[in-house]
Amino acid sequence: MGKTSLKVGVLGAAGRMGQSVCSAVMQGESMELVAAVDLTSGDAEVNSGGVPLTTEISDFFKAEADVVVDFTVAESSRSNLPLLAEEGIDVVVGTSGLTEQDFRSFEEIFDQSSCLIVPNFAIGAVLMMHFAAIASPWFNTAEIIEYHHNQKVDAPSGTALATAERMHAASDQWENDPTVKENVPGARGAKLEEISIHAVRMQGMVAHQEVILGSTGQTLTIRHDSTDRESFMPGVVLSIRGIGALPNGLTIGIEKLLGIE
């Protein structure tokens, strides 16, 4: 790139994850926080190393950001990612609730830069999904239980959906659910193909997931726990540093950056 450091902007900088990203960028090597933007909370207190918190997306352009990290909400991403794509800025997206239609749109508009959407930045969680896919051909029943704090607005989580999709891609030999009657609707969870997903929302949780696979006489449980939001920061930093090597367009997940694609 010919620069001594990456110029990084954070969108959603006043949120809990946004503030953690600002700190991680300031502490990271070969990175510089050049813009901290939150479209709804310009008066919030944010430790951004002297970089002012603003409410204008154009501040990323003025600061000549190389990469913007987006931790907002889906509606905000839909509005603001096209503006960043138009300026040719690489974007790392941690926003949840985006749809397949959103993915198709981002794939089309990021023709001069890269958009990396990450269902989960915790490297252990990414490995959990990878291991679940590897194990899937050897089992014929499976269920996913994901646990999050009770401020999370969507369910199931993007990580749970991504896990089920990868497991289904790895095997199509899942047995049908034998349940005939749910005494309470939804008792068997949401279904993605034949894999049930159960979402727990509770005080005291951060982000946790277990995948339970079963076959005759045995079960295998693969579980990951994030007990602090700092667990996501190594994956965020990896994404910021690695996105420049990705092709233009859309990439889902950090597997390619970890070499486990």
CA-to-CA dists, residue 255 to 102, 103, 116, 221, 246, angstroms: 20, 17, 11, 21, 12
3 is catalytic: no
148 is catalytic: yes
By DSSP bridging, strand 141-148 and strand 207-215 are antiparallel
Encode burial over 25-37: b for 16+ CB neighbours within 10 A, e otherwise.
bbebeebbbbbbb
Are 144 and 198 in contact by the 8 Å Cβ rule? The answer is: yes
Which of 7, 148, 208, 224 is catalytic? The answer is 148
What is the token pair recorded at 131? Answer: 């291991």
Which of 149, 152, 168, 256 is catalytic? The answer is 152
By DSSP bridging, strand 190-192 and strand 141-148 are unpaired
**Strand (E) or helix (H) holding 50:** none
Active site residues: 148, 152
